[in-house]
Structures are given as structure tokens and as C-alpha cells.
Structure 1
Amino acid sequence: MKPVTVIGFLGSTLDAGKFDSGRWNKWRPSVSICMQQDLRVDRFILLHGTQHRRLAELIANDISDVSPETEVVPRLLDFDDAWDFEEVYGKLLDFARDFPFDPDVEDYLIHITTGTHVAQICLFLLTEARYLPGRLLQTQPQRGAPQPVGVWNSIDLDLSRYDSIATRFAETSAESTNFLKSGIETRNAGFNRLIEEIEQVAMRSRAPILLMGPTGAGKSQLARKIYELKKLRHQVSGPCVEVNCATLKGDSAMSALFGHRKGAFTGAVQDRPGLLKSADKGLLFLDEIGELGLDEQAMILRAIEEGRFLPVGSDSEAKSDFQLIAGTNRNLAEQVRAGNFRDDLFARLNLWTFALPGLSERREDIEPNLDYELERFAEREGSRVTFNKEAREQYLAFAESPGAQWQGNFRDLAASVTRMATLSTTGRIDTGAVALEIERLGTVWQADEGKADTIDFVLGSQRLAAIDPFNRVQLAFVIETCRACRSLSEAGRTLFAISRDLRKSTNDADRLRKYLARFDLEWSDIHPHPG
């Protein structure tokens, strides 16, 4: 067996008393450790303050009397305030870092019966974090007649050693991931691993989380579930504030995000706290964060890092302590290269980045999501609707087939189920209703493909209105050419076929990328299959 070293505080009250023969009838925790028949202590590191030096010497002598083989090593450790958690933890951490631990050679027991409650908590935390590489040691007097020996037990904080606790942790973790999936028994292995990782990060970190993925992949719903889970675990007390950054344009964006003071601009008739302030002590979900302007991005970065920002028209800063979850369907790395997104903000968001797959990449999850959407319909409408067997098989065969495009991802699926359930007044979706829905989806998807070739579909009416008619004609031709080409490079060669012959070196892809960036566009916004 390896030699055993005990580390513990001198008990200024429990170890003290009249030092006459009667002291041997009293339980004194530091002495009792060395009186146990089934515990050999080879070394005792006795921590104490200057004012208790004499008591430490007396206890060391008594330990030598009852256990001559035990080497008592008094260690001076003074605190200005023994109830100041920061001071006690800091000095104990310094002690742990300086102590020449060698777990391969000896075992360590960390005595947590003596010392202030603050000291006991700090010893626990440092042992749990393995700064003190040992087991916790607890002692207490025996019940009944007074006697000095008492009893002891040790606690190993490696929870994997305790089967029942490990099982409980596994069950709790499974419950958390199931919660994030809204109780849906998803079957896609990659997605399930992704959710497990998100659960671990969300529960153990307050750093920003970036959710990437196509529109309708479930970013907003997942962000709300993360908030609800953190609230259940008492990690947030404030609200969940959600905003689609694509709706924040122009001067109103600053006011909406950071608030304003009365009179800051025309129409500012009263103070406005802003979304960041509203999210204090809670969670802020900025969906489509790539749509924010560079000025707003700079202030968001400062708010994340310092918890402070300047409302419009204010001379004093506001404070807000929130966790940020950002969502985007854009490639932010590309946006950084194009100069549309700040590289320092992207670096801050990119610590925890999770890419949610679209529905077409999770076809095995369509069936459990089908049941989930029927349950949601029943909750909303107070009417339960189900498929008959043939209709369910018919719909799943279509939905899981490669031909089903699911351009809107889970939003498309939710809308599809809602339509079929609403039109099935008997409470049963039959094959006729399924056939009608399949036809409707095919028509919608075909129309969307045609719309995707148009400039107004790519830009949206609001952005299109900000472009001069002269530029619209040129941009429409560029978009049409891009849609007809397989890659950015091919589109660049086609568009610059004449001028490229007049130059010695060309980079047509870069030239086209910069042109599109003038209109806040990138290749993936135009082409369905980025090359």
C-alpha cells in the first residue's frame, strides 16, 4: 500500500480544550484521524493561522503520542478574513499549486470536518477540480458515551465510480437532449450527436453560441429550447428576447437594439430600453445576425465582451448581462472576406458554432416529426387528426423520397401537415388528402424554382427598391448568368469573356464575388448548389 498523507485545517474550536488528562475523553477531529484502527496516516499536513500556533503544537504532540509513525507537518496559512471566499480559495489554490503532489507514490485524504464553512467548501471545490488530487475525508464522534476516537469515511469525487449516480447523470443528460429536440425521437445519428454537444455547451458555458443552417432548419426553436432548459436549471432568470435582424434596417436598428433617450431624434418622445437591455439576466437570440450593419456589429461585440453599450442619444452607458445565441443562413466566413461582417465579431461568435442540417439531409427524421406536427396541431386546434395506414405510408414514401425537395425544410413539413389536418374534417387523413397535398407541394416547389431566377426573389422587395433601375438591369443579367453556370469561376469566365482577353492575369471569380458584394449578395444566395 502507498503511504497516506492527510491535509486538513486545525480545528480552532473542535481541536481545542483544556489540555489535562480529561482531553482524552473528548473527540478532537485532527487527533481522532490518527487513532483509527483501520486508517494508517503517514503524514499530516496541519494547516493553521499564526494565532493558533500554540494549539497546533499541542495537537501535533498528541498525534505523536497516539500515532508515533505519523509525521505532523504544521503549515502556516493566514487569512485576513477567513470568511472571504475569494481570499480563502485563492490562498488554498496557491497552496495546492506549490505542494509537491505525487499521486503515483502516495495517497491523499483532504479533511473537510475542520475549518470554517468557507474553507471546507474551497477544499471540496479544489478536490473536485483535481488541484488537490485525493479523496475527501470526513470524521465525526461516535454516538453514545464520549470517547476520543470517533468514526471516519472517505469520498471519491470520481462520480463514474458510483453506478447509481452515473446512471442518474446519464438519465439527466438524456432528458436534456430530448428536451432540446422537443421530445422528438430523432433517428439521424449526426443530428443526435450535434444536439448532445449543444446540450453540454449550453449547460456549462455562457459564451455566445452560433447556429448556422438554412431557413426553416429549426434555429429559432432550438434557441428557445436552450433558454427553457437553462431556466429550468436556474442558469438564467431574465426573459428570452428574440429578434430577426433582417427586419432591423437603417437608423431604427440602433434604437431597437440598444435603446434611445427621449429627444434623441425626431419621434423619440420617450426613453426606449432596447432589446439588449430587455434581455438582462436572460438570453438574446439574434436571428440572421449577418444582416446587421457594421456599426451595429461593433456595438454588439462590445456588449458581448463588456456587458455595456451606449443607447442612442445618451451620454451614459447602459449595462446588460445576457447570453447571446446568434443564427444565420449565410456563410459568415465568406461575409467577412467580402467586408460585410466584422472579423472580430465572427471570431467571438465562432467559439461554439453548430451547423443544423436541412430536412433533406435528415429524411429518416421525417416520420417522428410528422407525429410531432400532428400533436402540435391537436394542441393548437383542440382537435386530434390522424392518418389512416395507407395514407401514412403514401405520404412517407413521398416525403422521404429524393424527389421531395423540402425547400423550406421543417417549415414546409409543418405547413404540409397543417393543411392536410385542417382539410380532413372527419379526423382522418386519407389517401385522397395526401395525393392533393403532394400535388400542391410539387406546384409550390416548381414555382419557387422559377421565382429563384428573378432579381426580386433573390433580393427581396425592400433591398430591390434601394437599387437604381440602371443597375437592376445589369444585376438581373448577372443573376441569370450565375443561375445557368455550375460554379462561381464558370460564371466569372462567362461574364468577363471579352475583358479577360485584354488582361495578362485574371481572377474572374474574385471579380464576380466583389460585384455581387456591392449588392450584399454572395454565390450561395443565387445558386441552389454552390460551387
Structure 2
Amino acid sequence: MKTIVFSFLGSQLDAAKGRGRWEKWRPNVALCQHDDFIIDKLVLFYNEQYLDLLNVVMDDIAFISPETVVEPYLMPLENPWDFQEVYGALYEYARAYQFDIDKHQYLVHITTGTHVAQICLFLLTETRYFPAKILQSSPPRKQQNGESGRLDIIDLDLSRYNLLASRFADERLEIQNHLKSGIATKNPTFNVMIAEIEQVALRSRSPVLLLGATGVGKSFLARRVYELKKQRHQLRGEFVEVNCATLRGDSAMSTLFGHAKGAFTGAVSARAGLLRSADGGLLFLDEIGELGADEQAMLLKAIEEKRFYPVGADKEVQSDFQLIAGTCRDLAEEVRLGNFREDLYARLNMWTFHLPPLSERREDIEPNIEFELARFAREQGREVRFNKEARQDYLAYALQPKALWSGNFRDLSSSVSRMATLANGGRVTCEDVNKEIQRLEKLWSNQQQEAFSLCKQFLPNTWQTFDDFDLFQLEAVLAVCQQANSLSEAGRQLFAQSRQQKASTNDADRLKKYLAKFDLQWGDI
């Protein structure tokens, strides 16, 4: 393969006159003095005012390395220290050049030219506009006649450097471990998701949407992302968290966006609002699906324009924040029902991650027990451990399908904390575990009965004879029926997807037959 080098003519380093010039180390001339490094073509970028110097350098290279073709390229730069001008000129050159990486080896020489030119060449090489390696030359330690100095070739594909690659891999694992709070999670789906969140957190400022039931760790993960970005100096502000479900009535707008003095009765002073408090930091809006229509419209403007009007103000304020939103609702369905703005959902849906419930991550229960015990020790100042048999008994129950973990990690945290609190002598015994299992079963039994409230209402004598599988489905169907004005309307909503595959539909009849399996009629509901 032929070797082609791109370099700037050095107005200072390459300059020398008379016979004494051979006693000076001149970078572009010295490139062609290495017996074991042959340059087939040297492309020299030059400015018109240094045409005489160019001719001297070309003549000297022709004398010492007649096999090297020097190709001068006039690059008229008004200000070689202007980054925009230099980068633009080199960018246009690289875009127009006909590279052939199968036939030629390309090197970019970054020893000559202004510091700005060197930086621009590096950036264009790193981004592969120049499909090349970096060539760096340096003078001999002791200047002697005929010495050509040293050459170093640097490949910017860092994956080729095993030590660097391993360090980057270790750092990525360290970051992912931080996002998981040091918990050695085993669930493959969750671990893949965390790896992607790590990349998004460090490379993007777009909104992130975290989906999942209450207690799966949305708030916990949002704070970890904030800590990571703060460590990398990507955020300078604070972490601001608000549960949108707690925002009600007129105070919702004021809490989020602030208000001017006198904006309403009782507004005796101005209020900044949470969005302004999050300026330069991260704003976590949990349960964002609970926001009202007016708040949604204001939030969309704040996300897109980084400015908004506080309540009662006639002047806009600014706030540049990173947004993470969390919800247990199906926002796509809320958009379809008209409860959530489609444009806001589209803005939030750039990066969406669904945090799986604990019942789908049972292999992660064991490492989370250790995490909860460590947290208990920090908060209470008392270290507690499980007896071997007690630990086995607790895990045996926790991993069974009948352990619902309906409150997800909140259930697990509360359960471990209760056992640690009641443990005598710093040891959780089998007796402690048995009592805790009874508490959990009672808790979940009550929750199940609450979950089937409609089934219990309409099937008071028979609901307990059906499987939970059937009851969960029937409960959802009954809820839709209660909101609908007619059997046909309920049927259209329940069979909205499958009806599109049928040539003719009778949604009302399909729903009537379903209800009949439970001896129910539309009139009963």
C-alpha cells in the first residue's frame, strides 16, 4: 500500500535558508529522511505568503527523497488561529478528497501548523473525515547533522489498545454498578436496560421516560442518573423531585412554574417554582400522567424553549434542566383517551425504559436482601444478619409465584426492615422469617380482595370459585363497562384491535357472550 501524508507547511519550523538549513530539524523535510519509512505522497497545505518557503522545502525533499511526490495545496486562511475558519477549510477539503483505503495508507501529520490547525486535524481524523492515523514527529534529543528525529504513529481506534479498552470496559461496569447502587443484579433484561441507560445518561440531554409500577425504583434510578451526570460535570444544579399526583388545583401551576407577587389572593411574595429550582440540574417528575391539561401545555413549552411564564407574570423566565419523567400509567393509552397531550408524549418518548416489577426479577431478590440489610445498618446503626436456615426459608418463599411482591421493592425493603428490627442478638431466625411470611400473606390477601372489588360486587357468591387469571381480566372488563354508555360502545373499546382484522364485526355480541360465561348481563352492570 502507498503511504500518503497530509501536513501543514510550518512557517517557523520548516523555515531555514542557505547551507545551514541542513543542520536544523525541519519537520516536513525530516519526514522524508527516514530510511525505514517511505512516503509516497506528501500533501502540503500552505498559505500564499509562504510560497518561497514552499519551493525550498519541495526542492529539499526532491533532493533527499526523489520517490516522494509533494502535492502542494493552497489553503488561503485569513486567520490561521480562527477555529471556525480552519476547521471549515479542512472539512471541505476532506469531504472532496477521493480516499481509497484499500490501496493507500493515510497519515495526518500534526506537528506543524498552528495549535488550532493541529486540533482541527485531530478532530477530523478522530471522526473519520480523514480515514487516517495520526503521525507525530519530534526532533532528535541532541541536534546532529543528518538526524531525522523520531516518528510516532497513533491509531485513534482505541479498541486496538488492549489496556485502554479494558480500562474503558471497567469504567462502564463501574458506572452501571453505580446506577444499580452496587447491587449485583442477575436479571439479564434489567442489566441490558441499565447498560443502555448508562450510555443515554452520558451522551444525551433529551428527556427520559421511566415506566413501571409503584415501587420498581424509578425515583431511585433518576437520582442515580443525576449523581452520575454531576460527577461528569454535565450538570451544575440540583436534583429536584416532585410527585405530580400531589399537585392539585390552582397550586399545581404555582408549585411547578412559580408565581409573581400578587398573582392571586395570598401571593404576598414571588415564588420561583420547581422548574426554576432545577435550572442547571435534573428535574424528576414522578407520576407525570397525573398532570392537568394546563400544566402539560406549560411543561411542553418549558422543555422545548427552556423558558415559560410564571403564574401572573408578564415576563418570561428561563430554566435549562434535564428532565426525567416517571409514570405507572400507559401514556399511549392516555393520549388515545384524550387525557394526555400527544405532543408532550412525543417529546417525552425519546428515551423510554420500562422497569420490570420484582415479580419478574426474582433472581434479584437475594442480592437486594443484602442491600437492604446494609441500608438498615447505616440508618439504624445496628448490623443484622440471617441465620443460614432462616435465609434459606425466606428465599424459598420469596421466589415462589405465590409471593406477589405487589409493592415491588418497597415490599421487600419493608419486609427486611421489619425482620431486622425484631431480630434479637443481631440474627434473623427461622421464627422471625415465619412470622414475616404470615404478615406478607395477610397483606397480599387483603390487596387481592381489593383488586377484585368489582368481581366481588357483581359475583358476591361465586367470585372465589374462579382463578385469579380470570378475575383479573373480568375486573378490567367490568371497569370498562361501567364507564361506557352502551354495550356496543364497551365492545368497540375492548375489541379495538382485533376488530380491525375482521371483515364484519359485532362487538356487542362478543362482549355479551363473554359476560354470559360468568352469568352476567349488561343490565346487571
Q: TM-score, normalised by structure 2?
A: 0.86
- Mapped partners of 2:401, 2:491: distance in 1: 39
Pair 1:44–1:294, CA change in 2 (3 A): farther
Q: Does 1:262 align with 2:261?
A: yes
Q: Which amino acid aligns with 1:58?
A: V
Correspondence for 1:486: 473
- Mapped partners of 1:122, 1:233: distance in 2: 24
Q: Does 1:344 align with 2:329?
A: no
- Mapped partners of 2:36, 2:81: distance in 1: 34
Cα offset, 1:325, TM superposition: 1.1
Pair 1:414–1:128, CA change in 2 (3 A): same
Correspondence for 1:509: 494
Cα offset, 1:488, TM superposition: 8.8
Pair 1:348–1:58, CA change in 2 (3 A): farther
- Mapped partners of 1:490, 1:256: distance in 2: 37
CA deviations 1:320-359 (Å, max 9, x no partner) are: 2221111111111111111111222222222211111000
Larger mean CA deviation between 216-225 and 312-321 belongs to 312-321
Correspondence for 1:137: 135
Any residues of structure 2 matched to 1:95-174 within 5 Å, and which?
Answer: 95-147=93-145, 149-174=148-173
Correspondence for 2:518: none
Q: Which amino acid aligns with 2:96?
A: D
Correspondence for 1:281: 280
- Mapped partners of 1:28, 1:320: distance in 2: 53
Q: Does 1:237 align with 2:209?
A: no
Determine what percentage of the aligned residue pairs are the same residue: 57
**Kept after mapping to 1: 8 A contact 2:279/2:321:** yes
Pair 1:23–1:237, CA change in 2 (3 A): same
- Mapped partners of 2:112, 2:482: distance in 1: 80
Q: Which amino acid aligns with 2:492?
A: N
Cα offset, 1:495, TM superposition: 5.9
Larger mean CA deviation between 397-406 and 122-131 belongs to 122-131
CA deviations 1:250-295 (Å, max 9, x no partner) are: 2222222222222222222222222222222221111111111222
Correspondence for 1:329: 328
Cα offset, 1:63, TM superposition: 2.0
CA-based RMSD: 2.6
Cα offset, 1:510, TM superposition: 7.5
Cα offset, 1:425, TM superposition: 3.4
Correspondence for 2:88: 90
Larger mean CA deviation between 6-15 and 44-53 belongs to 44-53
Pair 1:54–1:433, CA change in 2 (3 A): same
1:47 to 45, 48, 52: 45
Cα offset, 1:241, TM superposition: 1.2
Q: Which amino acid aligns with 1:144?
A: K
Pair 1:498–1:301, CA change in 2 (3 A): closer
Alignment length (residue pairs): 483
- Mapped partners of 1:70, 1:325: distance in 2: 58
CA deviations 1:446-468 (Å, max 9, x no partner) are: 2222333559xxxxxxxxxxxxx
CA deviations 1:85-124 (Å, max 9, x no partner) are: 3333233222221211111121110111112222212211
Pair 1:292–1:495, CA change in 2 (3 A): closer
Larger mean CA deviation between 176-185 and 77-86 belongs to 77-86
SS at match of 2:325: strand
**Kept after mapping to 2: 8 A contact 1:14/1:29:** yes
Correspondence for 2:193: 194
Correspondence for 1:416: 415
Cα offset, 1:64, TM superposition: 2.1
Q: Does 1:427 align with 2:426?
A: yes
SS at match of 1:198: helix
**Kept after mapping to 2: 8 A contact 1:492/1:508:** no
Q: Which amino acid aligns with 2:473?
A: R
**Where does the alignment leave 5 or more consecutive residues of structure 2 unmatched?**
459-469, 497-525
SS at match of 2:425: coil
Q: Which amino acid aligns with 1:403?
A: K
- Mapped partners of 2:75, 2:377: distance in 1: 66
- Mapped partners of 1:202, 1:497: distance in 2: 43
Correspondence for 2:8: 9
- Mapped partners of 1:124, 1:57: distance in 2: 27
Correspondence for 2:36: 38
- Mapped partners of 2:325, 2:78: distance in 1: 44
SS at match of 1:380: helix
Q: Does 1:447 align with 2:446?
A: yes
Correspondence for 2:225: 226
